[in-house]
Structure 1
Amino acid sequence: MLTGIYGLLSASFFVVLDAVDVAFTEASVGAGISGLLMLAAISMTGRTESPKRHKPLLALFVVLITGGMLIYGTMDMPYFGSFDAPIHQHVAPRYINDSMQEVGVPNIVTSVLASYRAFDTLGEVAVIFTAGIGVLSLLALPQRRKSYRLDEPKKEQMYQQHIVLRVISKALIPFILLFALYVQFHGDFGPGGGFQAGVIFAAAIILYAMLFGLDNAKRVFSLSLFQLLAAIGLLLYASVGVVSLFNGGNFLDYNVLADDPIAGQHLGILLIELGVGCTVASVMIIIFFNFAGRREAQQHSTKQNCHELISPELNRNVLNSTELNSTELNSAELSITVLNNGEVK
């Protein structure tokens, strides 16, 4: 709750400072998805620490060396807020005064991120894609022959508990997706772009998965399709740079994509922003689905262990007695306590 409140307050500060693009990202990531992922990660951890501890001294040494090099690299940087810093002398004035003539995009933030610093933004998209690959490597679930589902009484009870949220979400999710598309394709003229639109699109699908269940969400939205879209988005971004090279320009130089340099800038920005949106949305959905799927798998294995231990005892009771009422069944189930580390008493 505190991280969500902090994210909303930070987004409000960015709006006051006219940094609406950053406010979009902070509101959707800082106040929304990051808190959900943190809760999902906490729900997967046990209450006790594993007794086995390894000491990765080599990893610690690499981290210390890398951190020292990064700190040493900042020694020559100007002081924070210094008026005579190079960015305030010629970089920022160039963006403000010449971006409209050179790029033709009213939103200066989009022209900087998607054109002037397009190679840096490509690295950011590659980092997001790498994060998704890392989550898949660590938390990917094996293929299941038979999907475990809730029994009908529990499912019906869950539907009755969340009936108001389900009805409201059915009305809101289409508008959330439509707003994400607006942010995606209107980022040239107003606040927005691929990063913001991707997170908003992913938030709508995550909301659907939370209210209607992970199994229903996987039947509606294919996880394999999102994995493919995550790679396609990064490839689309890089392909625009390769096409620029083949047309005689520099890497990610959109001026050579059309006869009119301004039209080439618009085409290149539109394509790379589409790639950014596909990768960001897909990676966010992949991370949430894997966290939630791993949590359900742990709960399912725990329940299965309980039933395997309960069933022999119940079978003996049935053999010894011709009648077994519901009270004895409930007491047999309540007598079993499942610990977080998998042991059963």
Structure 2
Amino acid sequence: MVIAIAIVRTRDLLAVVMLTGIYGLLSANFFVVLDAVDVAFTEASVGAGISGLLMLTAITMTGRKEAPRRHKPFLALFVVLVTGSMLIYGTMDMPYFGAVDAPVHQHVAPRYIHQSMEEVGVPNIVTAVLGSYRAFDTLGEVAVIFTAGIGVLSLLSLPRRRRAVKSDEATVEQMHERHMVLRIVSKVLIPFILLFALYVQFHGDFGPGGGFQAGVIFAAAIILYTMLFGLETAKKVFNPSIIQLLAAVGLLIYACVGVVSMLNGANFLDYNVLADDPVAGQHIGILLIELGVGITVAAVMLSIFFNFDGRRQAQQHCTEQKGEHDVSRTL
């Protein structure tokens, strides 16, 4: 709560990003204490990881200091207080945390704990719930991520007629000398980060992980490469058009698994018909949908970052051209 209040009160946006990362790490620690390791993994990689990188990129476009307030939003404050009071009042009817007689502990949780291994055959119950029992809900979450990516791209994408911003060779050489140690260390670490992302992707059935976490880790490695070697260099390695296409391909893979299940006479996203053995079919289905989730998440994160960085460079280029034009007019 102290960090949340500090985030609201602080006007230095760089400090806000740092505090947000601390808040994410503390939240991940709370989830670990509650034995929700998968949720902690997601919070650490998204809340304390890639979100901070995207916000740092946004700060380079908006400036470091928050603009002074020109109005007093008393009406907005009143609405927030009333809504918050209603939410707190609504939680009073909920059972106490950990109560044995809570409805969730009477039917839902015992079903997942005692029968998921027999029905799904996945040791990680969280993966069984998200990938099989609640597969349709998870499909909606992936669709939300894809839609959010489209919305950001529609706001940040640069017109195609603009030429790519070329960096000055002297500046590039200076940056290379300044960040030589970081670049060498990153070249050593990035392959292991990508390898760890693949481990999280394909080991989510047996331990904490899955497509969401793996996609974010994979994107973070490429973003680290982009920050140290430049956007133009990264685009030569990772084509933005292909990345945007992969965002749709991942969601399509997920949906196609459900369509194949229906074509085989089962319900949508019922993996039992994907193989002769129902448990083997569950493994195949979860593997495919997690792959689709990982591809979509990584592609959306990379597309957002590339467009943020491209917009920032375009603004800097326009500012430099305007300054040169003003100097030439003065002379």
Q: What is the TM-score when the length of structure 1 is the normalising length?
A: 0.81
Q: Tell me the distance in 2 between the aligned counterparts of 1:77 and 1:198.
A: 38
Deviation at 1:312, TM superposition (A): 2.9
2:23 is the counterpart of 1:6? yes
Residue in structure 1 matched with residue 322 of structure 2 by the alignment: 305
Partner AA of 1:90 in structure 2: H
Could you say which residue in structure 2 is the equivalent of 1:287? 304
| Structure 1 position 293, deviation (Å) | 1.2
1:273 aligns with 2:290: yes
Which residue of structure 1 aligns with residue 7 of structure 2? Answer: none
Q: Which amino acid in the other structure matches residue 26 of structure 1?
A: E
Map Cα deviations across residues 244-277 of structure 1 (whole Å, 9 max, x no partner).
1111111110011111100100000000000000
Distance 1:76 1:224 in 2: 50
Conserved? CA contact 2:165–2:313, under 8 Å: no
Q: Does 1:138 align with 2:135?
A: no
- 8 Å contact kept, 2:58–2:308: yes
Task: Give the alignment partner of residue 135 of structure 2, picking from 85, 101, 118.
Answer: 118
Out of 110, 113, 134, the residue aligned to residue 93 of structure 1 is 110
Q: CA deviation at 1:291?
A: 1.2
- How far apart are residue 144 of structure 1 and its match? 4.7
Distance 1:296 1:308 in 2: 18
For 2:33 and 2:291, locate their aligned partners in 1 and report how far apart those are by CA, in whole Å.
28
1:32 equivalent to 2:49? Answer yes
CA 1:48/1:117 → structure 2, altered by over 3 Å: closer, same or farther? closer
Using a 3 Å threshold, how does the CA distance of structure 1 residues 15 and 78 change in structure 2: closer, same or farther? closer
**Which whole-Å CA distance do the structure 2 matches of 1:179 and 1:208 have between them?**
16
User: CA–CA distance in 2 between the matches of 1:112 and 1:77?
Assistant: 26
Secondary structure of the corresponding residue to residue 285 of structure 1: helix
Q: Amino acid of the residue matched to residue 109 of structure 1? A: V
Q: Distance in 1 between matches of 2:95 and 2:323?
A: 61
Q: What is the Cα deviation at residue 146 of structure 1?
A: 3.4
Per the alignment, residue 262 of structure 1 pairs with 279
Contact 2:139–2:254 (CA<8 Å) still a contact in 1? yes
Q: Distance in 2 between matches of 1:113 and 1:293?
A: 35
Deviations 1:45-96 (A, max 9, x none): 267869xx9xxxxxx9xx99xx89x97xx78974452543321111001100
Matched with 1:196 is 213
Pair 1:102-2:119 in alignment: yes
Aligned partners of 2:249 and 2:296 also within 8 Å = yes
Asked if 1:152 corresponds to 2:169, the answer is yes
SS in 2 for 1:129: helix
State the one-letter code of the partner of 1:241.
G
Alignment partner, residue 185 of structure 2: 168
Whether 2:215 is the aligned partner of 1:215: answer no
2: CA distance, partners of 1:218 / 1:304: 24
Distance in 1 (alpha carbons) for counterparts of 2:136 and 2:47: 25
Deviation at 1:7? 1.8
Distance apart, 1:296 and its partner CA? 1.1
Q: Distance in 2 between matches of 1:181 and 1:293?
A: 28
Query: Is contact 2:257–2:285 with CA below 8 Å preserved after alignment?
Result: yes
Residue matched to 1:127: 144
CA distance in 2, matches of 1:76, 1:127: 31
1:277 maps to a residue whose letter is G
> Tell me, which stretches of 5 or more residues in structure 2 are unaligned?
1-17
Q: CA deviation digits over 1:292-344, x for unaligned, max 9?
A: 11111111111111111112333xxxxxxxxxxxxxxxxxxxxxxxxxxxxxx
Secondary structure of the 1:259 match is coil
Aligned to 1:244: 261
Equivalent-residue separation in structure 2 for 1:197 and 1:26 (angstroms): 13
Match of 2:36 in 1: 19
- Normalised to the residue count of structure 2, the TM-score between the two structures is 0.84
Residues 272-281 or 80-89, more deviating? 80-89
- Taking the aligned partners of 2:306 and 2:120, their CA distance within structure 1 comes to 39
Identity of aligned residues (%): 74
**How far apart, CA to CA, are the structure 2 residues paired with 1:129 and 1:79?**
35
- Could you report, residue by residue, the CA deviation over 1:80-128 in whole angstroms, capped at 9, with x for unpaired residues? 5254332111100110010000000011110000000001100100000
| Larger-Rg structure | 1
Deviations 1:25-44 (A, max 9, x none): 11111111111222222332
* Alpha-carbon offset, residue 15 of structure 1: 3.0
Change (3 A) 1:49 1:16: closer
Name stretches of at least 5 consecutive residues in structure 1 with no aligned partner.
54-59, 315-345
